[in-house]
Amino acid sequence: NTAMAAQMTDAHRRFLQVLMSHGIMEGSEARKLHRRCCEIHKVYYAHDKLDDFISTINSHLQPLFMQIRKGMSEGDGRAHYALVNLAETEITKMASDYTENELELFRKTMDLIILSENGFASSTDILNLTDQLKTKKMKKKEAEQVLKFFVEDKWLSERNGEYTLHTRCIIEMEQYILSNYQDVARKCNICHSLAIQSQVCESCGIGMHLPCVRKYFRAQTEPRCPQCNDFWSCDIP
């Protein structure tokens, strides 16, 4: 396919470098960066062609088992772009940065978050896990520090002592989570991507991201489940 193999230019290379240094970027930032890269390198710029611009980069990243993926922030529904490594499973990728017992703490934290009702785990619950680590026990003080690193490295995000998976982590780990948590991991009924923070229909059990719930019910006179048509009993955000 000749269209796919569009030439990589210095504009594409600069875009990739900046995204690499950030790891993840909000949609509006990515659009600004797209424009800036094209202007600096005098490459033709079309404001509505960011996704084409990115697929050109992706076709050249393919042999390296890397890909720029688009995802959304579960809090506000904004688009994000993240650079994902397809060659390693995500947990092995983390293994180069964290010790065995830190990784175990992350896995257990992920369990708590994914098995929770609302996609959050409290710091208290997470710190209580430190006694159950099989690899090597960890002091609570130490665990608090490790949680800080998980937040800095964009694996977790934190709000008032409640932790959830960072947007970057969700984009990176979607496949891992869907295959490792088959019974509980839900895809959003509206946008069909993995939903960690979600509302769930009490009747049929489908889930929806909060931003998707907001959007979907905006147009409806009374909130009914898109799947089973029962009354939607959760508070609409």
> Could you state, in order of their start, the residue ranges of all structural domains in the chain?
10-64, 91-174, 185-236
Is the pLDDT at 88 greater than 90? The verdict is: no
pTM of the shown model: 0.86
91-174 classified as CATH 1.10.10.10? yes
Confidence of residue 5 (pLDDT cuts 50, 70, 90): low
The pLDDT of 25-54, averaged and rounded, is 96
Is the pLDDT at 4 greater than 80? The verdict is: no
Under the phi-then-psi rule, with left for phi > 0, alpha for psi from -120 to 50, and beta for the rest, what region is 23? left
The pLDDT of 230-236, averaged and rounded, is 91
The pLDDT of 167-183, averaged and rounded, is 91
Confidence of residue 111 (pLDDT cuts 50, 70, 90): very high
Is the pLDDT at 3 greater than 70? The verdict is: no
Q: Which helix (H) or strand (E) holds 132?
A: none
Confidence of residue 183 (pLDDT cuts 50, 70, 90): confident
Given a contact cutoff of 8 angstroms between Cβ atoms, the answer to whether 146 and 123 are in contact is no
CA-to-CA distance for 111 and 6, rounded, in angstroms?
42
The CB-side HSE value for 45 (13 A sphere, CA atoms) comes to 16
CATH number, span 10-64: 3.90.1150.220
Look over the chain and give the mean of its residue pLDDT values, rounded to a whole number: 91
Tell me whether the CATH fold assigned to 91-174 matches the one assigned to 185-236.
no
How confident is the model at residue 90, as a pLDDT? 66
Strands (E) across the chain are located at 24-26, 66-72, 79-85, 121-122, 156-159, 162-165, 186-187, 194-195, 198-200, 207-209
Domain made up of 185-236: CATH architecture: 2-Layer Sandwich (3.30)
CA-to-CA distance for 69 and 201, rounded, in angstroms?
29
